[in-house]
Amino acid sequence: SPLVDSGPSSADVGAVDQRGKPRLINLRADIGAVEFDPICFARTNSSATIYTTETSLAVRQALSAVSAGGTVKISGVCAGTQLTSGLPQVAYINKNVDLQGGWDSRFTVNNPTAYPTVLDAAGNGRVLFLTNGATVNASDLTLKGGSIASLPNVYYDRIRGGGIYIDENVTVDLLRSQIVGNTAEQQGGGIYIRYGATLSLTQSSVLSNTVGKDGGGIYSLGTLTVTGSTLAGNVALEKGGGILADQYPSVAIQNSSVYNNEAASGAGLWSNSQRGVSIVNTTISSNRASTSGGGLLLAWAGGDLRFVTIANNSAPQGAGIYNSSATSRLLASIVTVTPDQTNCAGSKPLLSNGGYNRISDLSCNLQNTTADDLQNVGNVQLEPLSDNGGPTLSHKPVADPSTVDVMPGFVCEANFADADMEDQRGRVRPSLGIRQEGVVVPEAEWRCDIGAVELGEERQRVCGAPLLLGYVGDAPQFSDPLRCDVTTIAEAIDRAQTGDTVVVTGIITESVVVNKSVTIRGPLIEEITPGTHMGVVQGQKLAPTSNGTTNGGIFQIEAGREVTIEQLNLRHGRAARGGAIDNAGNLTLNGVTIYSSRAASGGAVYNAGDLQIRNSTILSNTASSGGVIQNSPSGAVDVRHATIVGNSGVILHNERNDGFTVASSILSAPTASSCTGVIAGGQGNLIHNNTCLTGATNGDPLLGVLRDNGGPTLTVAIGSDSPAMDSASCAEIQDQRGRARPGGATCDVGAFEYAPMTLTVCASCVADPTAGRFTDLQMALDRAMAGDEIAIEAGEYTGNFIAYKDVTLRHADIDINTLSQEQSFDVRAILQASPRSLSEQQRLQLPGGTVLSVHGFDMPPSTGTINPGSDVNVTLRGLTIRRGMSREGGGIYNHGNLTIYDSTIEGNVAINDWADIAQGLVTSGEEGRGGGIYSSGS
């Protein structure tokens, strides 16, 4: 309407419309009595018209306009229902159509993470009613709030399908979507599938739906295929907490997880299907039935279970499986319960379908067994249900030869037929699960594991503060349990096998013996969030002031072990030998920073084995009598692209006449220093205050301080005027941070490559991180290095962004030849905390938070955690910052050093923390501060 945003901009900021809603939604009032405030947007693929409404009406308008076979794109939160054919629902669909969520409100960017799309029935009817034989493909949607208790009593009435009703002959493909928090009186709290209908559920979740009778998550009379999906937290008062399949449906479940559902019987799945149920590579765990079938209840044609893990379910009868079918069969599956439960009950025994089953007791009375079936094995050892990779949660087996590396590869291949030989997570079967030091098993002899998960080279995840919040009793409490397994590296190594990886995130205080061949590393870029983007292992909380009495202040590598330590910070080691590391094995340090450690010999590292140092920084360590890096008569050391600076004592000490080589590295000391023994200088070294390396260039490398310059570790930067620039032969293809070498004509000396670059963030392009192109601004900020620019193209970018490295955020260049006076185009690069207007955020009590926070991260020894810090320099140019709502800094929170040019900070709010909002009492010290900008920095 031409009335929208056509009123005065100088109206009282407290002004409201006739309904009491705020007037200044977009900084200008509308003309007339009612202020327009859209939060739901929809359009068709065949028209430029964008339907915008305050309710879900926009979706219905687009559906009415779209032709059969077309596409409706949806953005925002679309709430509320409307009567169609006498039924209230968000959308009534009776023709072939694709529904696509995840769009921004201009429909230029499809990013479901940044722009989640919600269809909310708000407790008044269904979300979707699908009929008339339609074919519907829906993706990237959250369908919630369906409740049909008030619908008229007809065949598709209030008793069926709280979230989705799929009528006969309708075909539905639901991809990357959530059906959550819906309810029905009798059948299908989340989804109801009628006779002759088909639903394919892929990479989706059916969560926390409820029903007064049967099928808390899904009630199916038609064809149901579930792939890579989760059914969890659903409740049925009678049958089928997760799924109920009755009479004639075909049901296939693969690579999925069914857990924490509840019902009187068949809490995970209740099946009375004439066609039976096929379940492959799936975990059925922790479901609870009050009478029978905690995991599964199988009747009529029963079930065909292959590579399934049924664990920790509970019921008075048949905690794992209640079976009354003469044809239910198992292959290579695990059925296990806690000692107070029994696995199976029912009128019929289960049948072995080729062997390799593991059942913890004798209650299943398995028939047609082979010599490869084992019953009454006791509790099968599985790790807790967690994120072990892939789209769904699973139980990873421990390295037990009764369940791991059991089925010969040719047998495994035959049982997968034409299907991919993979486990629930997508890992290739077979993988070598049990690995021993020095034992090589040819790949042709590898065997498949039993159950849903194939054990292979695994990650053991160690978390310290800030991810470790504390303990309740002996149980660690993590802020992100799916990223964390244990709290000590020693425990992770104890759980690990040869070839496994130990991932360290946060700050760990520990001295540990490494007695297995493993990789110990910090988090990868895809595993981080700002503030949890580094791993730090310290021997003690504070930097040592004297030598210790043991060897290996942080790591002691045993002889015969092949160990890689990479992308980690090591500090505060204290030892007699090897302040940080005492190595007797084959050790590679790649991208490691060792600082503030000390020992008599080997202030940073003492080597009696084979040591390779690549792209690493060794700084401010002390050796009181030997070398900061010391090589024993039995050792060999090869150093390439290292920055070894600011240490006290002999820099390098070699106790043999050869076996110590340094190339493309910086050796710099604060005062005149030396090396002892024979050190072979390779090409491209730079030395300062020492004469350690023959043929090296002598000069001050002009180094910065140890800080976060990007990447997974602290580093010391060189500037563009450093003699280390373009002075080394390229011994590595990346620097310590992960930036590609060379950045200039040839590689730089040391661990740091001076190579600032421009990253691009674009709203409608195809992301290519390897080329520096992103659609997600925070991902660009995470991958940026100190000195980079991030060029942001025109568009809207929604999130709570954190700039924690030295970067420039600027508007990308515009080709003016693409602009015209005849066609308007918004050229702004807009950063916003929410797609919702300020008034809508306030009405929904969903403040968007701060748009952009500017701060670094410090690791002060006194705190033992990682805190926001002030050591960061950020510049903004030509940007628009809007729709932020936070207590401190609605638009920008600055704790660093921030410079802003040519930018607009508009329409942001600082909100109070209320002690009593009704009385207008603000919590003391919690007043809103800085609607546009709050700065505790400069």
- Three-state DSSP state, 508: strand
Rounded average pLDDT over 418-435:
91
Are residue 694 and residue 823 in the same domain, yes or no? no
- Which tokens is 802 given? 């954190």
| Cα distances (Å, whole numbers) of residue 900 to 796, 851, 857, 872 | 19, 15, 21, 14
| Predicted confidence (pLDDT) per residue in 612-630, tens digit | 999 999 999 999 988 999 9
Answer whether residue 648 is part of any domain: yes
The answer to whether position 389 is within a domain reads: no
Q: pLDDT tens-digit profile of 630-644?
A: 999 999 999 999 999
pLDDT in tens, 786-821: 999 999 999 999 999 999 999 999 999 988 777 777
Same domain, 649 and 716: yes
Task: Count structural domains, the chain.
Answer: 5
Task: Classify residue 586: in a domain, yes or no.
Answer: yes
Mean pLDDT of 360-389: 95
Residue 599 in domain: yes
What is the extent of the structural domain holding 20?
Answer: 1-36
The pLDDT of 654-665, averaged and rounded, is 97
At 11 the pLDDT is: 46
CB atoms within 10 A of CB 106: 15
- Alpha-carbon distance of 736 to 724, in angstroms, equals 15
The total number of residues written for the chain in this structure? 938
The mean pLDDT of 392-421, rounded to a whole number, is 92
Whole-angstrom Cα distance, residue 537 to residue 505? 9
For the sheet containing 829-832, what is the strand order? 795-798, 829-832, 880-882, 904-906
Residue 202 and residue 216: Cα distance in Å, rounded? 19
157 within domain boundaries = no
Give me the mean pLDDT over the 907-936 stretch: 86
Greatest Cα-to-Cα distance within the chain, rounded to the nearest angstrom: 93
List all residues 6 or more positions away from 676 whose beta carbon is below 8 Å from its beta carbon. Answer: 627, 650, 652, 653, 654
Tell whether the model's pLDDT for residue 37 goes beyond 70. Answer: no
As a whole number, mean pLDDT of residues 658-685 equals 94
Q: Do 783 and 650 lie in a common domain?
A: no
Which domain-ending residue is among 532, 562, 581? 532
Residue 717 has pLDDT above 70, yes or no: yes
What is the per-residue pLDDT for 150?
A: 59
Does the pLDDT value for residue 12 go beyond 90?
A: no
Same domain, 787 and 903: yes
Residue 314: strand pairing partners: 288
Check: CB of residue 883 under 8 Å from CB of residue 851. yes
Whether 427 has a pLDDT exceeding 50, the answer reads: yes
Q: Are residues 539 and 480 in the same domain?
A: no
Candidates 681, 661, 555, 665; CA nearest to 612 is 661
Mean pLDDT in residue range 466-493: 94
User: Which residues, other chains included, contact 1 with Cβ-Cβ below 8 Å and sequence gap of 6+?
Assistant: 36
Helices (H) and strands (E) in the chain, counts: 5, 89
Domain boundary among 98, 117, 146: 146
Q: pLDDT band at residue 14, thresholds of 50, 70 and 90? A: low
Same domain, 41 and 2: no
CA distance 22 to 907: 13
pLDDT of residue 505: 98
* Residue-averaged pLDDT of the chain: 93
Sequence-distant (6+) residues with CB within 8 A of 15 are: 22, 23, 24, 29
**Final residue in a domain of this structure, among 112, 146, 180:** 146
Clarify whether residues 130 and 26 are in a common domain.
Answer: no
DSSP per position, 81-109: -EEETTEEEEEEE-S-EEEE--B-TTSS-
**Does residue 898 sit in the same domain as residue 792?**
yes
Classify residue 267: in a domain, yes or no: no
Is 57 contained in some domain?
Answer: yes
State the pLDDT at residue 930: 96
Query: So what's the pLDDT on residue 824?
Result: 67
pLDDT of residue 764: 79
Residue 917: per-residue pLDDT: 66
Q: pLDDT tens digit string along 490-518?
A: 999 998 988 999 999 999 999 999 999 99
Question: What's the pLDDT score for residue 22?
Answer: 60
Do 715 and 851 fall into the same domain? Answer: no
Residue 466 covered by a domain: yes
Q: Are residues 725 and 815 in the same domain?
A: no
Per the CB < 8 A criterion, the answer to whether 651 and 690 are in contact is yes
Q: Which residues of 823-838 are buried (b: 16+ CB within 10 A; e: fewer)?
A: eeeeeebbbbbbbbbb
Residue 285 has pLDDT above 50, yes or no: yes
Same domain for 32 and 42, yes or no, is no
Residue 358 has pLDDT above 80, yes or no: yes
854 and 781 within one domain: yes
- At residue 128, the pLDDT reads 98
Instruction: State residue 287 phi and psi, 5-degree precision.
Output: -90, 150
Nearest CA among 696, 698, 630, 687 for reference residue 660: 630
Question: Do 1 and 36 touch, CB atoms closer than 8 A?
Answer: yes
